[in-house]
Amino acid sequence: MSTQLTIAKTSTSGQSTRIEGWESGVITPEAVWKGVIGAVRAVLGGDDKRELIKITVGDEVLVDHALMPNPDGSESPDEWLSRMQQKFGAETPVLLYARELPSHDRELYELLLSVMGRPVFEKYGLVRGNIDIEVFLGEYKATPGGIHREQCGNSHFVLQGRKYMHFWHGEEWIPDSVDWRAAEGMSAIDPEEYLPSLAVPSVVDRGTSLLAAAGEFFTWDPGTWHVAETVGPAFAFNIARYTKSFVPGEGSYPLVAAADGQVSTRWLSGYQDFLGGADQASALASASAYGMAGAEPRHDGSVDVGRVAVDSNAPRLWCETPDGVLIAVHGQSRAFSAAVLPWLVSLADLSFGAEVATPAGEEAVALARFLVTNGALRAV
């Protein structure tokens, strides 16, 4: 089973809108669906400050909790969609949208950091805004709301089925009579703009249409006008990197780390300024998760860590400080004495799954426990 994402270029219409092939043995429909179920449970528990789940049937957003996927996880994506189509009619457009999935499923959070980190997150740099992991499941002629653009770069992975993504660049193609509308409601936290009165067929020939199937993904820059259209039922997840700008290239900061995870104090200071004055520890922690928020660790901090194995491809970042070293992984950071550095650095030479003994000493054991608790290593 592959622990890293394999990307193979499939087709391209330009640098900012393209399709590429992808393969991962662990980012499966079942793994992503667990994040959706976690979000469903959060909503049913009263947490819906960010519209975590949105079900659109026809032109209406329905808020009936009975329409949500079964919170016990007993209903597959196909079964949920079949239930909706039986209830509302096979010809009625249906879309289940879910967001912030890693915040509701720790396993998915760690998988994404390990598998998507280097080939996706590091490729585009760190961002000022949040990293959102979204799901789109359904069968529909156009994304609800119609043609729109966001302040984020996107990597949109098709898990099952096929779907088009229609793209338009610039603004010259937009008819003068069309009104622009800013997003309303909770989604306005991440600014979006819509062209709700503009029918896709009337302008599709002014843009570029790409068709992706399972095992392929779309990529597009912030500010790119777009709308999706499924070809039959489709299940996809999206990585949205919010730059807080509609201009491509703005609002990103390159992750510059050595092979062993070391970052310079100068780089870290620049990243703190980029984030708006974050303290050193929280900035390094954020960088170690590429800015993505996740659920609390699921590992027991009291396990025996005498022998451990590498359990993530995500970087173990570290930076020297006047008092020792600051180490961060999977969104958490902690200060240690410089005595742990030789062992930490040696871990960089190990492949995924490789085992190693934890050195004797209180500090080394504390570091091993920190890395195990946060999912970078596992106890064996």
The tens digit of pLDDT for each residue in 231-264 reads 999 999 999 999 999 999 899 999 999 999 999 9
pLDDT at 377 > cutoff 60: yes
Is residue 220 located within the same domain as residue 369?
A: no
For 162-167, what is the mean pLDDT? Answer: 98
The model's pLDDT over 261-290, given as tens digits with 9 standing for 90+, comes to 999 999 999 999 999 999 999 999 999 999
CA dihedral 105→189→150→147, nearest 10 degrees, is 100
Q: pLDDT at position 343, please?
A: 97
Quick check: helix, strand or coil at residue 269? Answer: helix
Is residue 156 located within the same domain as residue 227?
A: yes
Q: Are 130 and 103 in contact (CB under 8 A)?
A: no
Q: pLDDT at position 47, please?
A: 84
Residue 351 vs residues 120, 122, 295, 346: alpha-carbon distances, Å: 20, 19, 26, 11
- Torsion sign, CA atoms 216, 200, 206, 132: negative
The model's pLDDT over 31-45, given as tens digits with 9 standing for 90+, comes to 999 999 999 999 999
Q: pLDDT at position 2, please?
A: 60
Is residue 133 located within the same domain as residue 46?
A: yes
Is residue 302 located within the same domain as residue 340?
A: yes
Is residue 216 located within the same domain as residue 297?
A: no
Q: How far apart are the first and last CA of the chain?
A: 19
Domain that holds residue 175: 6-242
Q: pLDDT at position 181, please?
A: 84
Q: pLDDT at position 296, please?
A: 92
Is residue 366 located within the same domain as residue 235?
A: no
pLDDT tier, 186 (very low <50, low <70, confident <90, very high otherwise): very low
